[in-house]
Amino acid sequence: ILEKPVEDMNIITCHLGNGGSITAVKNGKSFKTSMGFTPLSGVMMGTRSGDIDPAILIYLQKQYGYTAQELDDILNKKSGMLGVSGISSDSRDIENAAEEGNERAILTQKIYADRIIETVAGYYGLMGGADAIVFAGGIGENAAHIRQMVCDGLEAIGVKLDPEKNNIRGKEMLLSPEDAKTKVWLIPTNEEVMLARDAYKDLLNA
């Protein structure tokens, strides 16, 4: 899209949905990702906690006697947006509640955006800059308000949105002004195509 050799590009992809992962792509290859040993680590998600102080687990075990299985259930299924908001794991429900002035919903959106900002800015620094930041996934493609919150927090590294362009859902679009230092794109996820391509490569090499 940018008409530049992939091997000369640095990109930060923000795949944001009920799950969420942010990836730094350096010189065309994945360089760092927010997920770790499991998909639990990284940014806050629909029901997953994302990164937390590991001492929290010890505290919960001592204070409430939770088993390993109960802690696993709490971190993966009862935390994240659901845990903070007390409303839902669905960002659309949280957005509606935030618009009605629900304080926990507003807090959920702020924590979510802040964690994304921290990660993107960190990757930007590690790579020494980025040609583009890409939003994808259910939230990344459809939640204009979240995209705006994230990009507002990244102004210090030259990121900005065109509000009119950002008022869109699920369509490939350049969201930043033409003169922006770091381009911001919305590119819908197409996991089915990636699976098909990988399967095709395996068949060719069989």
CA–CA dist 149, 176 (Å, integer):
14
pLDDT tens-digit map of 33-70: 999 999 999 999 999 999 999 999 999 999 999 999 99
CA–CA dist 25, 182 (Å, integer):
14
Domain boundaries defined on the chain: 6-205
CATH architecture entry for 6-205: 2-Layer Sandwich (3.30)
Copy the structure tokens of residue 163: 């509000």
| Whole-model pTM over 0.85 | yes
Q: What is the DSSP string of 81-120?
A: HHHHHSS-S-HHHHHHHHHTT-HHHHHHHHHHHHHHHHHH
pLDDT tens-digit map of 69-103: 999 999 999 999 999 999 999 999 999 999 999 99
